[in-house]
């Protein structure tokens, strides 16, 4: 479709561009802004990935429950397995819970360094009332050991 304005013929696209102020210059400027914003985003994303990869806190520690034994109304024994770097000191939180999943006993324990990366432990835990389960909640390498 063509529009005629005093002898000059314009296409509908040209007429719309003129009406809404779109020129080659603004199109180039918009494209340049988009490229700069995309480059800035890529730099920020790349920096975040590198920072995460080079963070010194990347030692992988896993803790897995292996067993629990209810000894009496105020004692439970918790068995668990810890995977951690060899010869590193590890601290863990163990806890006991009742049938409503209320914590009825917990403590932070320190595991001595060992040469094997995967080690099994059994720890006693005192409780305030009868527990129905015992778990290892979390493990980490203490700051002083890093």
Q: Is the domain of 47 the same as that of 73?
A: no
Q: Would you state the pLDDT for residue 97?
A: 97
More confident residue, 6 or 104: 104
Question: CA triplet 117, 123, 128: central angle to 5 degrees?
Answer: 145
Are residue 66 and residue 137 in the same domain, yes or no? yes
pLDDT at 90 over 90: yes
Say if residue 17 is in the same domain as residue 41. Answer: yes
Residue for token pair 């995967």: 118
List Cβ neighbours of 14 (8 Å cut-off, separation of 6 or more): none
CB atoms within 10 A of CB 84: 24
Note the pLDDT tens digit of each residue in 74-83.
999 999 999 9
State the CATH number of the domain containing residue 102: 2.60.40
**pTM reported for the whole predicted model:** 0.59
Are residues 106 and 123 in contact, defined by beta-carbon separation less than 8 angstroms?
A: no
What is the domain count for the chain? Answer: 2
Which range of residues forms the domain containing residue 31?
Answer: 2-54
Q: State residue 143's pLDDT score.
A: 82
Residue 133 half-sphere exposure toward CB, CA atoms < 13 A? 12
């Amino acid at each position: 479709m063509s529009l005629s304005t005093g002898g000059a013929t314009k296409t509908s696209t040209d007429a719309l561009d003129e009406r809404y102020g779109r020129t080659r210059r603004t199109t180039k400027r918009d494209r340049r802004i988009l490229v700069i914003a995309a480059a800035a985003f890529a730099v920020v994303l790349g920096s975040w990935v590198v920072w995460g990869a080079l963070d010194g806190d990347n030692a992988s520690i896993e803790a897995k429950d292996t067993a629990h034994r209810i000894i009496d109304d105020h004692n439970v024994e918790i068995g668990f397995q810890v995977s951690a770097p060899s010869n590193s000191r590890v601290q863990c939180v163990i806890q006991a819970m009742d049938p409503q999943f209320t914590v009825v006993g917990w403590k932070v324990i320190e595991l001595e360094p060992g040469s094997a990366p995967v080690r099994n432990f059994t720890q006693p835990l005192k409780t305030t009332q009868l527990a129905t389960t015992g778990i290892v909640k979390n493990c980490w390498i203490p700051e002083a050991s890093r």
